Amino acid sequence: MSERSEQGLGGRTGGVMLAVLGAIAWLAALVLMIEKVQSLADPAYRPSCSINPVLSCGSVMNSAQGSAFGFPNPLIGIAAFAVVITLGVLLAAGLELPQWIWWGLQAGVIFGIGFVAWLMAQSLYVIGALCPYCMVVWAAMIPIFVLVTVDNLIKERIPSPAGLRRVLAAAGAVPVVVLYATVAVLILLRFWDFWTA
């Protein structure tokens, strides 16, 4: 087996990472969908993830943003992360994916990270509450986006300058850590009064 196929997302380890992250996000989306169905069946139902005024799935799920396309957002996650899991398993099994699948995956993760960023902003600055299960999806989507995008750039599935490829190859987990830290700081600042009360 070539060194190229063992490294990055085109290799077994990368495939396992993609499948595990996809499974974590898929499970969170599934639990959110179950919670949503229960809240629709019983308006008095309190979701298991509604812990306090800030950590409140109910506030987020029942908002207009919780059904951005006219149906509950977790349905998008259940479908999309099933694809991520499947592709991760195929990569872990050693299958080489065609270029068009990588492009499709890239389009999917761009949509995914954009949607997550919008939902984060809505949760923080419009709804004023955080959904713990949603945050699990955020936490999985960030490395999924970074892994796929960096791998596509480094392996020139998406044309990129050699200098950028060198920087990304050397960066390791730094982009994920920076994005996690940014989200953590935004959450801390937005709810500072609650955390320090």
Contact between residue 35 and residue 49 where contact means Cβ atoms under 8 Å apart: yes
CA distance 103 to 115: 18
CA distance 131 to 193: 18
Each residue's pLDDT expressed in tens, for the chain with a length of 197 residues: 344 444 567 678 999 999 999 999 999 999 999 999 999 999 899 999 999 999 999 999 999 999 999 999 999 999 999 999 999 999 999 999 999 999 999 999 999 999 999 999 999 999 999 999 999 999 999 999 999 999 999 999 999 999 999 999 999 899 999 999 999 999 999 999 998 88
Q: What is the 3-state secondary structure (H, E, C) of 23-48?
A: HHHHHHHHHHHHHHHHHHHCCCCCCC
Taking every pair of Cα atoms in the chain, the longest distance, rounded to a whole number of angstroms, is: 57
With residues binned 3-state (H G I as helix, E B as strand, rest as coil), the percentages for the chain, rounded to 5, are 75, 0, 20
Domains of the chain: 3-196 (1.20.1440.130)
What's residue 12's pLDDT? Answer: 85
The residue type at 176: V
What's residue 10's pLDDT? Answer: 63
What's residue 61's pLDDT? Answer: 92
For residue 43, what are its two tokens? 């308006």
